[in-house]
Amino acid sequence: MKGRTSKSDLITVVDDDEAMRESTCLLIRSFGFEAEAFASAQEFLASPERNRTACLILDVRMPGLSGVELQQQLAKEDAKIPIIFITAYANNDKEREAKAGGAVAFLRKPIKDDALLSAVRTALDQNQRREN
């Protein structure tokens, strides 16, 4: 089943691993959504796409700003973008921290397609409720 799409349903992936970043974008597009990718939190923050982002998929561990640090930065700016975290490293403290900060989901790599789709739908529903 394809996802619903609208102008504001840009799913943004921020991951320093190029292969993971590109494969996640391809998967998001296969669900019927628009996807954009960035190699770092700093690239995302400097991009005009951040204003169109309806859901952010973040790697937890990245050089520079980590995913959790980006979540904290966005919270300070009162940017209410639903966030899905992905990680290859099991870290219960980071997961608790991310969820305490309002993360929609905390998924472990390799990511199951249906788990990611479910998380994206939840994030978009959350975003739509916020906009209404």
**pLDDT at residue 3 is higher than 50:** no
Query: What is residue 57's predicted lDDT score, i.e. its pLDDT?
Result: 98
Half-sphere exposure of 62 (CA within 13 A, CB side): 29
Nearest to 59 by CA among 35, 36, 38: 38
Please report, rounded to a whole number, the percentage of residues in the chain having pLDDT higher than 70: 94
For the record, the structure tokens of 45 come out as: 């923050």
- What single DSSP character describes residue 15? -
Give 61-111 pLDDT, tens digit per residue. Answer: 999 999 999 999 999 999 999 999 999 887 888 889 899 989 999 999 899
**pLDDT at residue 2 is higher than 60:** no
Amino acid at 20: M
Residues 6+ apart with CB under 8 A from 23: none
Confidence of residue 129 (pLDDT cuts 50, 70, 90): confident
Query: What is residue 4's predicted lDDT score, i.e. its pLDDT?
Result: 45
Give 15-33 pLDDT, tens digit per residue. Answer: 999 999 999 999 999 999 9
Confidence of residue 1 (pLDDT cuts 50, 70, 90): very low
41, 12 contact by CB (below 8 A): no
What are the structural domains of the chain? 10-131 (3.40.50.2300)
Nearest to 54 by CA among 117, 121, 5, 124: 124
Query: What is residue 8's predicted lDDT score, i.e. its pLDDT?
Result: 53
